[in-house]
Amino acid sequence: MSSSESVVSERPSSSPPASAKRLAAQLLEPEDLAFLDALAKAGLVSELDDDELLRIASEAESTDRETRWVQLVETYYATTEERRTADRYFTQRVGEPATAAGLVSRLSALLPELGGMTLERIGGEEGPLVIRAGEHFCAVLDEHEEEMDTDQIDLSDLEDHSRDVPHVTVRGLVRSTNVLLDRHGVRERMISLRGDLEVEMYVFLGIAEAMPLANAGYLEDEDPEEVMELAAW
């Protein structure tokens, strides 16, 4: 065998396989990778290694940025209950059957610090809805209604506002839950990730972790004041 033949025979027969991270980068936009990296820096998606990145990237097919982000997040958290519990991931899709009591029950299961939450009415069947956690409770109001501190207001006054609460929104329930977290001395709150027209997504974050996400445009509320309002900080 000649020396030239020896060199040829020792060359690899094919190029090394592309890494999972490189393949994922080919499927996603740079802004998608930046979004996922920001979530990781905030303490979320802790199991998002290169193989998992490739897996969720393969499931994100939308050309719309917000919908693609929703697909990435939903695919990651759909894998195990442990992931959803670790980051207190809470979501609701438009059109999915749901009741206010059922949503409160789901939120309660994610927040053992509150010792259980229930949805109740004060003042009879026509009275306003409140969420109760132990000795504390908070009225469920639309986000545009005037804030009412139900731990410091006479209950008879609540009956006068019963007609001001015709609808219950997911955001309204989350806002009331955050007030209760504040009452119980919990610094982290349920924060709204940027969703699309079909999905609302919430995760459990402290203020130091939430604000960089807001400033980068990764939360539903980009204005820090709106983040603070939802979180009851």
| Segment 106-147, tens digit of pLDDT | 999 999 999 999 999 887 777 788 999 999 989 987 544 444
State how far the Cα of 212 lies from the Cα of 218, in Å rounded to an integer.
Answer: 9
Average pLDDT score over residue span 191-200: 95
Q: Identify whether 43 is part of a domain.
A: yes
Note whether 195 and 132 are same-domain residues.
Answer: yes
pLDDT band for position 16 (50/70/90)?
A: low
pLDDT band for position 155 (50/70/90)?
A: very low
Note whether 105 and 213 are same-domain residues.
Answer: yes
Q: Identify whether 51 is part of a domain.
A: yes
Contact 200, 91 (CB under 8 A): yes
Note whether 115 and 30 are same-domain residues.
Answer: no
What is the average pLDDT value for the chain, to the nearest integer?
85
> How many CA atoms, within 13 angstroms, populate the side-chain half-sphere of residue 230?
27
Average pLDDT score over residue span 162-167: 46
- Kindly give the residue spans of alpha helices, DSSP state H, lying in the chain: 3-10, 20-27, 30-41, 50-59, 65-77, 81-86, 100-110, 155-159, 170-183, 207-215, 224-231
Average pLDDT score over residue span 211-222: 96
Please give the structure tokens belonging to residue 66: 């917000």
Note whether 71 and 94 are same-domain residues.
Answer: no
Average pLDDT score over residue span 2-11: 48
State how far the Cα of 95 lies from the Cα of 195, in Å rounded to an integer.
Answer: 15
- pLDDT > 50? residue 154: no
pLDDT score, position 95: 84
Note whether 205 and 218 are same-domain residues.
Answer: yes
pLDDT score, position 104: 96
Q: What are phi and psi of 192, to 5 degrees?
A: -90, 115
Contact 111, 118 (CB under 8 A): no
State how far the Cα of 15 lies from the Cα of 6, in Å rounded to an integer.
Answer: 19
Q: Identify whether 227 is part of a domain.
A: yes
Number of domains in the chain: 2
Contact 169, 188 (CB under 8 A): no
pLDDT score, position 196: 94
Q: Identify whether 7 is part of a domain.
A: no
Note whether 77 and 121 are same-domain residues.
Answer: no
* Residue corresponding to tokens 């930046």: 34
Note whether 77 and 117 are same-domain residues.
Answer: no
Note whether 82 and 107 are same-domain residues.
Answer: no
| CB crowding 138-162: b at 16 or more within 10 Å, else e | bbbbeeeeeebebeeeeeeebeebb
- pLDDT > 60? residue 41: yes
pLDDT score, position 142: 56
Which of 17-31, 42-56, 159-173 reaches the highest mean pLDDT?
A: 42-56
Note whether 175 and 97 are same-domain residues.
Answer: yes
Torsion of CA 159, 161, 166, 171, to 10 degrees: -110
For the sheet with 118-121, list strands across it.
Answer: 118-121, 129-133, 136-139
- pLDDT > 50? residue 152: no
- Cβ neighbours of 121 (radius 10 Å): 14
pLDDT score, position 122: 82
Expressed as residue numbers, the domain containing 25 is: 19-86
Of the three residues 58, 86, 114, the one that is the final residue of a domain is 86
Note whether 176 and 227 are same-domain residues.
Answer: yes
